[in-house]
Amino acid sequence: MRKKLLTMPIVAALLAIVLSGCEPLMVLNPKGPNAETLSNTIILSIITMAVILLVVYLLLFFMLKNYRASKMGADYEPPHEAGNHKLEIIWTVIPILIVSFLSVVTIYTTDKVEKKPEGYGNKEALVIYASSSEWKWHFSYPEEGIETVNYAMIPTDRPIEFRLYSFGTIASFWVPQLAGQKYAMADMLTTIHLAADHEGDYWGRNSNFNGEGFADQEFTVTATKQKDFDSWVKDVKASEPALTEKEFDKLLKPSVVGRSSYSSTHLSFSPAPMDHKDMMKADKYTESKKGSKTSDQTEHDMDDMDEMDK
């Protein structure tokens, strides 16, 4: 036991030396408000876990030191212990409090990142449709009338609203330094909110395995000043070809491609699906219409029966 305790600091020192050469984890190096919220939640969870482990190890050391086996006679019989109700209540309540605390933090964080980033309430969000196909990402800018493949440009200090869907299997849109991940699914629109506080290139990928080209389904989000973003939009509209339905059908075929830009979007001939909330409203409207038809038909049948009786 003593040898293990003595070797633990040595192992910790070696790990510190090895990990000192590694770059910081992207999720712990946020460049936007929503990513910072998630990063703080991860750090808080790690600290909570570390405190729990510290308490457990201290109790373990205390128990081993004070209640280890001693050299007693063969006829020694330890005293009978009936238990301690206070201790039993304590070690039952503490895990409940820990889980409750982490649950509240998780719910608060999830609700916060599902909205427009704090501090951007008065700014209009830039809407970008991010659609997935095997194994690439299509970024459509409806307001600007342009589209890109495997890269996106966004302005800094402005809220961004990515509307996600898929032309094939389920994919997961993830830019670790700007936001958490969210699934892109067929026939359903999901939304992820983010903002970039700093200029730079941010790595993104599909984090949901979807076949042979999964490892290559990566993209880059470049954050730049608003005036530079506007200049880029003008250059794309002036110098890049329009996206035709034939060209888009080629892009939808399973393949790994590089970056490309177009002076129009596929939304004109292949519209995006409805938002999940709109789908729910449409389903409820359809059900209500069916219900009203059923009731009307029932009343009509009753009237017919009355006529027959007469």
Residue 78 φ/ψ region, left for φ over 0, alpha for ψ in the -120 to 50 degree band, beta for the rest:
beta
Q: Determine the pLDDT at residue 118.
A: 86
pLDDT tens for 258-303 read 999 999 999 999 999 987 566 556 566 556 666 555 445 544 444 5
pLDDT tens for 224-257 read 999 999 999 999 999 999 999 999 999 999 999 9
Tokens 């830019």 belong to 175
Q: Determine the pLDDT at residue 242.
A: 97
pLDDT tens for 134-149 read 999 999 999 999 999 9
Query: Alpha-carbon distance 248 to 220, whole Å?
Result: 21
Backbone angles phi, psi at 25, to 5 degrees: -60, 140
- Side chain identity at residue 226, one-letter code: Q
pLDDT tens for 86-132 read 989 999 999 999 999 999 999 999 999 999 998 887 899 999 999 99
CB-based contact 224:198 (threshold 8 Å): no
Q: Summarize the confidence of residues 205-215 as an average pLDDT.
A: 93
Tokens 């395995």 belong to 209
Q: Taking the model in full, what pTM does it have?
A: 0.78
Report H helices in 240-275.
245-252
Which of 161, 136, 162 has the alpha carbon at shortest distance from 149? 136
Write out the two tokens for 200: 């730079």
